[in-house]
Each structure stands twice: as structure tokens, then as C-alpha cells.
Amino acid sequence: MRAPRPSGDFQSHWIQPVVFKNLRHRDGVIRPHHITAPHVIFVLLAPILQGIRVLDLSSIVAGPTASMILSDFGADVIKVERAGGEDGRSMGPHRGEWGAYFVALNRGKRSITLDLSKPEGRAVVLRLAENSDVFLENFRGGKAAALGLDEPAIRARRPNIIYASLSAYGPSGPDYTKPGYDAVLQARTGIMSVTGTGAGHPMRTGVSILDMTTGTWIALGILAALLERQRSGQGQRVDASLFQTGIAFMAYHLVYRQFAGVDPQPQGARHKAFAPYGSLPTGDGQIMLGISGDRQFERLCKALGHDEWATDPRFRRNPDRVANVDELENLIGAVLRTQPTSHWVALLDECDIANDPIQSPWQVLQDPQAAALHLFNTVNISGQEPFLLPRLPIDLSLTPPAFQGPPPATGQHGRVILREAGYSDPDIDALVESGAVGKST
């Protein structure tokens, strides 16, 4: 298996990077070795998925999220794109040829362009599958079989492969073949019915929550399947869908409907179970408060200089506050408007009250807590200014995930990938001439 490429195109932002040192002791055994130095951890162990190859035919968000996770853990991800590149490349805004969606989710991968409408292009996929550990696709229901790239076809080439399939509605059922996207499935699963202000305008969430979470779920399933293969030698199928993820997100609201006998309504930034819990205006912006218990409310009243609210029959207990939330928020808002957000954040932090300003993306990029957690890396892309990209939101002490390289140009590694699969240069030239394989950049 091809080892992951070094991440020389990346540099950490704000701190020195985690440094991996491969030191072999005299007895030949590699052991963890730590050297004390500010902000530097010397780790001996190789990336946890080093030696694992992922053949990734997915596009846009959900599938690329999954393969990005696997790449950061050290897997060699071969990204198969159509001629001209996958749809995510065209989703702006852009810097030069680089689309924001694509660069956000495709770091550390290698790209080859194939025309899957041609038998020769499909034959290349089957050949690449022979030396792959994971096959990842997000075809619409039935398309993989129509192309001859469904699980039986792939497993015939590599019996113990992990076949991972992402879809909108799942691998079976009456809507198996329906097209679907994140916002459409937010509507179908009820998420939009509980999102927004309740003024007759259902809203989707502002981020691709179903796409990215479904990608995370299938990455988790792939890791579990790889562990099982290590134990039993057997590969298996892994399925995940936006529909299943949306239903899982709705667990509380579905139970609410059964317990209360009525459908929960959208609350804006509020919560039906707690009050005050939501966004409120300050002198120069908005602040989000989270009060989930009576003692917290008492501390809030004291901090705002209105101890009497805590004994007011309208607000004494949490159910009372929920029932009278409009009156309560009007009283709190009148106080909060007298000072800027920074004043209230400092004061409420001192009083141990959950709160935070509502920040813009620009403010998030400069957040000191993000800096303390080393959440951003600086990424260099060809011909453009560097930009900041969040790392995976997970830390491991011995085998931390790390960027394995920059996002690839369209078809950048095609010729190298084909040579690794045993194709000769004349064979590759013939595939390019036929249009089955795109030219490497």
C-alpha cells in the first residue's frame, strides 16, 4: 500500500505543529517518545490508517466529508471525478479555479478523472478496487448497479473490501431512487418544522448539517468495518443516508410529540423546555443565554441587579418561566441593552452563567479559544493566497489526525495512480486518447 504523503504544503496557524518523529530503538521496537517543549508534542506512532486505501467516487459534501476524515487519519484517498471535476468544484465563492466547498472538504486526497459512461472508465474503477480497502460512493439509488459498480461487482474484485454507500433516503424503501439534498431532507425529516421563528416561514439550518453528519456517520461505520475485518478477515457493506441522520436528529422532538400529544413548534433561538434560553439584544449586538435550572436563574437575576425576579411567581420555577417567556425576555432585554455585549459576557462569565456572543464567521476566525485549541491550519493552494481551514474536531494523544496535503487539482494524480495500478504508459496514453481518463494536470 502507498504510504500517505507528507503534509509539507501545510503549516500550523498560531502554534508550532505537532511533530512526528520516527525513532527506532536498538531492539527494533518503536515506542512513544515525548520531548518536553512549549506547544510541541513529539509522537512516534504512525497515522492510524496508514496503509489503508480508499477509492472515493463520492461528490459535493457528505461523501467528501467522510473521505476527508479518513484522509486526516492517514488513509490514501483516491478521488475519482468526472471530466472537468466534481460538482463541488463549481460551488462558490472562488479563488481562481478553487471553489470554497471543494477546498473545505477535499484536502489530502489524490484526484483522477474518469468517464464512467465508457466501459474503459468503469474498467479502471474495477482495477483500482482490486488494491483498495474501502469503496465509497454516493450514487442515486440504482445507479451503481446500472454502471456495474455495485457491491457484488466491486466485491468480485476484492472480496474483503468495505463497500460504503451514501444516499439521500437509504438503501431500500419506496423512496430509494429519489434524488435528495440536505435542505430537502431537512424538510422531509421534520427539522425545518422546528427551525425558524414560527412565523410561517420554515427554515433550514445555516450549515449542511445532514450532509456533514451523515459523512461523519459513514466514516465511523467504515472504521468499525475495518476493525471487524482485522478481527475476522471479512469485509462488509456500510450504509448511511441523509434521511436516517435527520430522523436521528429529531429524536427529542419525536418523543415530545408522543408525550405531549401536539407537534413541537419552532422556537427561533429559544428552547421549549428552558427559559430564559435564547438570543437577546445588547447595546451593540446579541448575546445567547442558556439557563436550564432555577439556581442558574437566581445567579442571572443577581448579576443583572434584579434579585426580585427570582421570587416573582411568574418566574420562580422553570415551567413558570417557560410559560411567561415573553415577559421575562422583555425584562432581561431592557437591562442588556444598557451595555455592550463584551460587558455582559465578562460579567456573566464571572457569575458562572452560560452565555456567548453571537459571532460572525470573521469573528470566529479570530476567536482566542479556537487559537488555544489550535483549530485552524493555514492551507496553501496553487496560485492563490493561503487561507485558514478547521482541522477535525477531535484529539488523540498518540495518533492525532492531521492534514495529509492540499486539495488536489482536477485529475492531478491520474497518471501516477494508473501506474501504481499496473498500467503502462502506452496503456495510459490510449485511455486518455479514448476519453476514458482525463489528462493529468
Across residues 161-165, what is the average pLDDT? 98
Number of domains in the chain: 2
Residue at 263 is within a domain = no
Q: How far apart (Å, rounded) are the C-alpha atoms in residues 365 and 379?
A: 14
Residue 268 lies in a domain: no
The reply to whether 73 and 179 lie within a common domain is yes
Does any domain span residue 259?
A: no
- CATH number assigned to the domain comprising residue 227: 3.40.50.10540
Average pLDDT over every residue of 336-340: 98
**15 pLDDT higher than 70:** no
Residue 13 has pLDDT above 90, yes or no: no
For residues 353 and 390, membership in a common domain is answered with no
Quick: pLDDT tens for 265-297. 888 888 888 899 999 999 999 999 999 999 999
* Distance from C-alpha of 129 to C-alpha of 154, rounded to nearest angstrom: 7
Identify the pLDDT of residue 268.
Answer: 85
366 found inside a domain: no
Q: pLDDT at position 34, please?
A: 34
Who contacts 380 (Cβ-Cβ below 8 Å, separation ≥6)? 9, 10, 11, 386, 406
Q: In this predicted structure, what is the pLDDT of residue 440?
A: 79
Query: What is the span of the domain harbouring residue 305?
Result: 277-358
For residue 158, give the nearest of 66, 55, 51, 59 by alpha carbon: 55
Residues 169 and 318 grouped into a single domain: no
Q: Is residue 309 located within the same domain as residue 170?
A: no
Q: Which residue has the cell 449586538?
A: 285
List the CATH number of the domain containing 282. 3.30.1540.10
Query: What cell was used for 358?
Result: 453571537
End-to-end Cα spacing for the chain = 24
pLDDT at 198: 77
Predicted pLDDT at 7: 36
Residues 196 and 63 in one domain: yes
Question: How much is the average pLDDT of 377-398?
Answer: 94
Do 218 and 317 share a structural domain?
A: no
Higher local confidence (pLDDT), 58 or 4:
58
- Listed range (38-42, 182-186, 266-270, 340-344) with the worst mean pLDDT: 38-42
pLDDT band at 144 (very low <50, low <70, confident <90, very high): very high
138 CB burial (10 A radius; 0-12, 13-18, 19+):
buried
**Do 240 and 209 share a structural domain?**
yes
Q: Name which of 18-32, 224-238, 249-263, 280-294 the model is least confident about.
A: 18-32
**Positions marked catalytic:** 211
Residue 5: pLDDT over 50 = no
Q: What's the pTM?
A: 0.87
Cell numbers at 70, concatenated = 479518513
pLDDT at 10: 32
Q: Would you state the pLDDT for residue 441?
A: 63
